Amino acid sequence: MPDTQPLDLDPADPQDGPAPPPDLTGRTLGDYQLLRRIGAGGMGQVYLARQLSLKRDVAVKLLRNDLATNPTALKRFQAEAEAVAKLNHPNIVHIHQIGEHAGTRYMVLEYVEGRNLREYLVRKGPPDLAVTLSVVRQVVLALQKAHEEGIVHRDIKPENILVTRKVEVKVTDFGLSRFFDGGKAAHNLTQSGVTLGTPLYMSPEQVQGKPVDHRSDVYSLGVTCYHLLAGEPPFKGVTPFDVAIKHVQETPRPLAEVRPDLPPDLCAMVHRMMAKAPDARYQSAREILRDLVRVRDGLAVSATPPAPLSFSATQTNGVPVPSGAVPTTPSATVPLTGPVPAAPPVRWGRWAVAAVGCAASLAAGVLVYAKVNPPHDAGAAPAAGLPDIRPPEKIVSTRERELIAALENRGTSPEKVVRWSIELGLLYVRERRLDEAEARFRKLEAEQFPATGPLKKLDPDAMAARDASAAGRLGEAIVLAYRDTEAAAKASNELVVRVADSPFPRLPPKAGPFERGAAAMEALRLRHPDLGHALADALNRNAAALGKTRLEPAVLEQLRATPRGGK
């Protein structure tokens, strides 16, 4: 039977410290079984989930219980979801559904297999130029679609740019972070601790609490590009406030000094996007796309920005409309959203006033503004049909190369062979290279290590020799779980049970063989927490594929729990 009791989504009491909200892995919300928590924030939690009816993976965002009982918050949640649903674009994460189950409000989104740009940069550093141009172009296409629909993202940053193994880009968190009503900040949401706009990437006008338009996204994109190319953001500081002020007052180090190998025109593009004044930036995504193609083709990029958009006195719901654009009627705007009122002029010599401006920016939400239709640039290439930069078919990470080289070294110790084989196999699973993962785990199962003598309690090599076979077979069970068929799920469960029922050497016979095997598996999971987490995820997938809320025998249910010593 599916779970019907309300889910506890409220954050911990502040007096109890920054404890994370309870992990709801394994619970079921209607058609969705929660497989693994992949994020948590002020609004609630995000889970990788399995849609049982369609047998597909999705991301489920759960709204916190205190917000779910606030009528105003619910209306804004619904209205913003409807606005974002308009953004049907291959480079934007799609919304599938918004709903409620047993008092819990949730949003179902497309699940993207891959990692965000920040994780990519931490693991691999700045990518090759061809990959960089491809990523940037796809982000620009996503922003072009949003801007055409009258939506300003307001939080473009590496964490909100997802990249798959094939370098397919998805921009996420459009309009899902903060909501506005008639130009007034939603104070109840502000009190929830949700903020929008990250100081490392905020535009000067955002920092100062001024009204923003699509050119604020252009600035944040420029900062993101700088980070992507240089390996670090242009401004850093001890506090977020320090960084925010630098966006207003300081000039970043020239990108050409950090990366003299880059095309000068590309560096100039990035700095133009990061111009302090909106009028000095690119005025549309179309212009950025045009110059990206010229950089790719080795053509010169115009050093003189085109004439900026002139804003007439015409306004729509308080937002200036570019000359020549047709104002949208009030009925065409998204309900419960609107512009941010202008803050008083900020005198940066006065820190108290600056703090007010910074706080106002952190209270800013996704701003829905009148559709921007900049005058057509005859020299601009059409946005549709622009050829993409095609990276190599197979992108091999530095870590994968390191692991393969280490495992091929005959002098590698048994403990490292087991640990690195598990890491490499799970890397393949995450990238859905299931055949390679299966081969790697089978090789681990068959590993024969030199005799190590009597097993010593704290001898890692001796324990590794004992662990290799069990770890390899558990890895094979994990791979089966990702085959996404009922038969594979059954085979995966059966393999786990066989491992638990297998005799583990040198264990005292104080209990039956099954109990000794389960205890040994628990010890194995504690020594290799990544394997333990992956096994728990796999068993949750199996439960979803089989339509079960509990697995039998009991050892499977025990292993679905997160390892006690896990991350």
- Cα within 13 Å of Cα(234), Cβ side: 32
d(CA 290, CA 380): 6
388 counts as catalytic: no
| Residues β-bridged to residue 41 | 44
Structural contact between residues 115 and 162, judged by C-beta atoms closer than 8 angstroms: yes
Closest CA relative to residue 168, chosen from 434, 534, 431, 433: 431
- How many other β-carbons are positioned within 10 Å of the β-carbon of residue 420? 17
Q: For tokens 């965002």, what's the residue?
A: 61
d(CA 245, CA 225): 20
Structural contact between residues 565 and 531, judged by C-beta atoms closer than 8 angstroms: no
Structural contact between residues 202 and 360, judged by C-beta atoms closer than 8 angstroms: no
Alpha carbon of 3 to those of 20, 488, 555: distances in Å? 22, 25, 21
Structural contact between residues 207 and 247, judged by C-beta atoms closer than 8 angstroms: yes
Contacts from 238-241 at CB under 8 Å and sequence distance 24+? Answer: 240/199, 240/358, 241/199, 241/354, 241/355, 241/358
Of the listed 57, 155, 467, 537, which one is catalytic?
Answer: 155
Closest CA relative to residue 94, chosen from 77, 106, 112, 78: 112
Structural contact between residues 502 and 470, judged by C-beta atoms closer than 8 angstroms: yes
Q: Which residues contact 19 (CB under 8 A, 6 or more apart)?
A: 12
Residue by residue, DSSP assigns 261-292 as TS-HHHHHHHHHHT-SSGGGS-SSHHHHHHHH
Structural contact between residues 485 and 491, judged by C-beta atoms closer than 8 angstroms: no
Q: Which residues contact 418 (CB under 8 A, 6 or more apart)?
A: 444, 447, 464, 467, 468, 471, 528
Structural contact between residues 132 and 125, judged by C-beta atoms closer than 8 angstroms: no
The CA-based dihedral angle spanning residues 28, 29, 31, 37, taken in that order and rounded to the nearest 10 degrees: -70
- Cα within 13 Å of Cα(458), Cβ side: 0
Round to the nearest angstrom and report the end-to-end CA distance of the chain.
30
Alpha carbon of 262 to those of 268, 270, 518: distances in Å? 10, 11, 55
Closest CA relative to residue 111, chosen from 125, 94, 128, 86: 94
* 177-211 b/e (C-beta count within 10 Å ≥ 16 → b): bbbbbebebbeebbebebbbbbbbbbbbbbbbbbb
Positions marked catalytic: 155
